Structure 1
Amino acid sequence: MKPSQTNISGRSDACLAAVVLLAGSVIAAYYLRALWTFDEKGFSILSGGLPYWDFSNLWAGARMALDGHVAYLFDVDAYRMTLRTLFSPDLPNQEWSYPPSILLLGAPLAALPIFPAYLVWTFGTVFCLWLAIRPLRLGRIAGLAVVLSPAVVMNAIFGQNGALTTALLIGGLVAAPGRPVLAGMMFGLLTIKPHLGILVPFCLLASGNWRAILAASATTFAIAAITALFFGFAVWPQFFAETRTLMTGIMEAPYPQPYHSNAITVFFTARAAGFGLAAAYGLQTVMSVAAIAAVTWLWLPGRETEHRERVVLTAVLAILATPYGYTYDTISVAVVVAFLFMATARPPRAILGIFWVYAFFAHILNNAGFSFGVLVPLSLAAWMLASIWARGRIRQLPREPSIAHRKPHTAS
């Protein structure tokens, strides 16, 4: 791998990129059309519910909080009843699943009607993603391949926050060496989905970036305090007592559940393979520890690795480190694919194309019993780590002295 090379190597690469982008655009158009086509109840024929899907939780939850009913978020029955009052009496069951701090983002959006709020959220978070990947210098084509990737489209279809969390993770990692305070602030904001930031403390500790650690800690504390001041100090105890318990129950529910169709972690793969909870947690722990060891090694001072390569590798390892992740959380896979396609002298183009488009087909394969989506980030991470290790080994090999510096042979 030659990280400094950032141009498509030939016409065949450009043609393949164009074909993959076109195919992705056609599939995206199909899904988006189905999302905004409604049945006789007014529900999306794709989701079976609101076309805003998960965003309706953020919008409605913030609306309840602004109306003085924040306690509804931690009472499943009251929450569902209020959702049906706001949207439709036939609305399928939904749950509040976020830390209370995300209400600081949801409250301004809840001041708008839900459709324009959804548009602001979707395009605004994708814009944040675009800003975050600009320092990676991927080039226009690769940057376009990221912001229009199947993972981003699935994120928009679900109304999820994957574009925002990926932007915060990658943006913070990029900024960490030169702008540690800014990086720490981004990591503090990432606590709206804390399980995606498992590796961040180990990166900062390995690199000795104490300013970023302090900034992240201060930002996290400030966000928690501001949330409590606006919405009541009871929100945090209620979150840990009710929401965290509810989401743990959802994660540990017998396999399969409808939402497992988009799952993409070691934990869910183990459950799909028939492992019990203890074994699935055990396998996930092994993978999480391996990811922690990898980023610790990667971020130690003196490692001869280009910073942007370290950033994108850490971002894809973050998917492997968490037990709770879905296709809309895999935008970092698209970033890694784009980086490898542009930065590798002879990339395995077909494989990278399959990995880029995989988010569109994960649910089909999962429902068919082929729950091996975790192999996508695992393969990318293994390839990059092996390449970095091999380059380091080559640099450490002793070099033969040149002919000009060899001692002349003299006969005794």
Structure 2
Amino acid sequence: MYAVRRFMNAAVIRAVWLTPGRARAYSEIFGLFGWVLFLLMLLQPYWNTRQASGPPFGDFISFWAASKQVLTGHLADVYNASKHHLVELAEFPELSFGDVAFFYPPTFLLTCIPLALLPVRLSASVWLAGAGIAFVCAIRRILPQSWALLPIVAFPGAVVDVTNGQNGLLTGALLGWGAVLLPRRPFMAGLCLGCLVIKPQMLVAAPVVLLCARQWRAVAGGMVSGAGLIGASWLAFGSGAWAGFFRMSHSARETFERGYVSFWKMQSVFTSVRLLHGGVVVAYIVQITATVLVLAMVGWACFRVTQRKASLRFQGECAPEIILMITALPFCTPFLLDYDLACLAFPVAWLLVQARGSDWLPGEKFILFLAYIYLFGARLMGLMTHICPTPVIASALLLLVMRRVLPDEFAKAGARLAAVFRRGDSLAGLK
């Protein structure tokens, strides 16, 4: 038992094996593996001529097809799954690669309008490069050191998003810039966060965080940008597009609940329960319970940070309230995929900055390492084991952020918990 305890202390609690040199080497390995694998996926159709080429950058074909429909005057067909799929097949007639429906609100459709002005491969490259640059620049505001550039570019969440041709880097950039701008330019930070109406499930925690943190300027900025995008989409597309989106949302919910999108691809609490063969009702109960508990914790933490702002000191210019919000996101929606979690790079980076400015706390280094690498194997683990790692790792990451944000409260809670365990041991000894 002593040997096991000693091993756990060295390997997990203190993680003495994870030196700065090894951390950089692991970043190089994961970055090389991820980006080379992605390059091979792009080049595969050129040397395997017997297999018809599928869409590049995965789901991006749906964004491009929606743009094509709008530019050719078929706006009403964007939210018609079969007609939308015909546009996708028109671009790739040799292969039916499945129905990649457009499940996004008209606010996101606004950002898609110019995409079909370019060929699909070039359009995807420009789209992902632009979002990637905004994403990397936001993290560089937190980690400006030269050594940090490689781990940022090699982050598996970024590789997964680019491979899927999705918008995780875009939503991650909006969240990241909200965190970076909030301390000095709260209205601008709110403008960034309000733009998340393009993907509303990523915005669930924002009202709780901003209101509990009393960030009234950020709230105003969020209302301006959010209402502006909604109004602009209404003027551009009319009420018919919104009606089509709500119809499509009902279809998307049925598709999701029945597992037509494989549960092992998903990363939410809901799908964790479904992977373990829990029913839909049970999965929703667990999901809602987790969401309420996490939002209550995060809201309380933001309220306490605001009360104690004069006595708290954090490394770097980044709002801990938004870091808390980002860390809570994995619990806030049942529909969550791995590319949506590219935003977890920001709490990982923020915790790294705090640790470098003081000392590593117990377990911190090991959990950050897991949070950094796990997205590469999240789907595979769900497929092979029917266990979704995201709720477990996200819970550990949230506790790390809470411990850094409110160290005194966390220490008191730990002391109370230890006292309860000691009291239980004493009672057991008396029996």
Instruction: Give yes or no for contact 2:186–2:218 (8 Å, CA) kept in 1.
Output: yes
Q: Which residue of 1 aligns with 2:429?
A: none
Q: Which residue of 2 aligns with 1:276?
A: 279
**Cα deviation digits, residues 242-273 of structure 1 (max 9, x gap):** 2211221222113xx55433311111101111
Instruction: Give yes or no for contact 1:265–1:322 (8 Å, CA) kept in 2.
Output: yes
Distance, in Å, in 2 between the alignment partners of 1:278 and 1:22 is 43
Q: Which residue of 1 aligns with 2:12?
A: none
Q: Which residue of 1 aligns with 2:21?
A: 15
Say whether residues 1:55 and 2:60 are aligned partners: yes
Say whether residues 1:26 and 2:29 are aligned partners: no
Counterpart AA for 1:337: V
5 Å-filtered alignment, 1:365-404, equals 365-374=381-390, 375-392=392-409
Q: Which residue of 2 aligns with 1:410?
A: none
Report deviation, 1:42: 2.7
Say whether residues 1:362 and 2:378 are aligned partners: yes
Counterpart AA for 1:391: D
Change (3 A) 1:104 1:21: same
Instruction: Give yes or no for contact 2:186–2:215 (8 Å, CA) kept in 1.
Output: yes
Report deviation, 1:305: 6.2
Instruction: Give yes or no for contact 1:21–1:145 (8 Å, CA) kept in 2.
Output: yes
SS, match of residue 322 in structure 1: coil
Instruction: Give yes or no for contact 1:20–1:353 (8 Å, CA) kept in 2.
Output: no
Counterpart AA for 2:52: G
**Cα deviation digits, residues 147-184 of structure 1 (max 9, x gap):** 32011000000001101101111212332343232122
Q: 2:111 aligns with which of 105, 128, 145?
A: 105
Distance, in Å, in 2 between the alignment partners of 1:56 and 1:125 is 17
Distance, in Å, in 2 between the alignment partners of 1:147 and 1:163 is 12
SS, match of residue 57 in structure 2: coil
Instruction: Give yes or no for contact 2:132–2:169 (8 Å, CA) kept in 1.
Output: yes
**Cα deviation digits, residues 30-57 of structure 1 (max 9, x gap):** 42134211253433xxxxx312211111
5 Å-filtered alignment, 1:307-386, equals 307-344=318-355, 345-346=359-360, 348=363, 349-374=365-390, 375-386=392-403
Report deviation, 1:144: 3.5
Say whether residues 1:251 and 2:256 are aligned partners: yes
Q: Which residue of 1 aligns with 2:79?
A: 74
Distance, in Å, in 2 between the alignment partners of 1:211 and 1:353 is 35
Change (3 A) 1:389 1:220: closer
Counterpart AA for 1:353: F
TM-score (ref. length: structure 1): 0.85
Distance, in Å, in 1 between the alignment partners of 2:19 and 2:354 is 12
Distance, in Å, in 2 between the alignment partners of 1:186 and 1:175 is 9
**Cα deviation digits, residues 135-156 of structure 1 (max 9, x gap):** 3246333354233201100000
- Structure with greater helix percent: 2
Change (3 A) 1:328 1:350: same
Say whether residues 1:116 and 2:122 are aligned partners: yes
Task: Name whichever of 330-339 and 276-285 sits farther off.
Answer: 330-339
Change (3 A) 1:216 1:258: closer
Distance, in Å, in 1 between the alignment partners of 2:83 and 2:340 is 29
Task: Name whichever of 210-219 and 62-71 sits farther off.
Answer: 210-219
Say whether residues 1:230 and 2:230 are aligned partners: no
**Cα deviation digits, residues 301-329 of structure 1 (max 9, x gap):** 22436354443232121122221111111
Change (3 A) 1:69 1:26: same
5 Å-filtered alignment, 1:145-156, equals 145-156=151-162
Distance, in Å, in 1 between the alignment partners of 2:258 and 2:182 is 38
Distance, in Å, in 2 between the alignment partners of 1:69 and 1:393 is 56
Q: Which residue of 1 aligns with 2:139?
A: 133
Q: State the superposition RMSD in angstroms.
A: 2.5
Counterpart AA for 2:87: T
5 Å-filtered alignment, 1:287-306, equals 287-300=290-303, 301-303=306-308, 304=312, 306=314
Distance, in Å, in 2 between the alignment partners of 1:60 and 1:360 is 28
Instruction: Give yes or no for contact 1:204–1:213 (8 Å, CA) kept in 2.
Output: yes
Change (3 A) 1:339 1:182: closer
SS, match of residue 42 in structure 1: coil
Counterpart AA for 2:349: A
Instruction: Give yes or no for contact 1:72–1:78 (8 Å, CA) kept in 2.
Output: yes
Change (3 A) 1:292 1:198: same
Distance, in Å, in 1 between the alignment partners of 2:264 and 2:152 is 23
Change (3 A) 1:219 1:334: closer
Instruction: Give yes or no for contact 1:146–1:331 (8 Å, CA) kept in 2.
Output: no
Counterpart AA for 1:373: P
SS, match of residue 234 in structure 1: helix
Instruction: Give yes or no for contact 1:54–1:159 (8 Å, CA) kept in 2.
Output: yes
Instruction: Give yes or no for contact 2:161–2:168 (8 Å, CA) kept in 1.
Output: yes
Change (3 A) 1:78 1:186: same
Distance, in Å, in 1 between the alignment partners of 2:300 and 2:146 is 31
Change (3 A) 1:393 1:279: closer
TM-score (ref. length: structure 2): 0.81
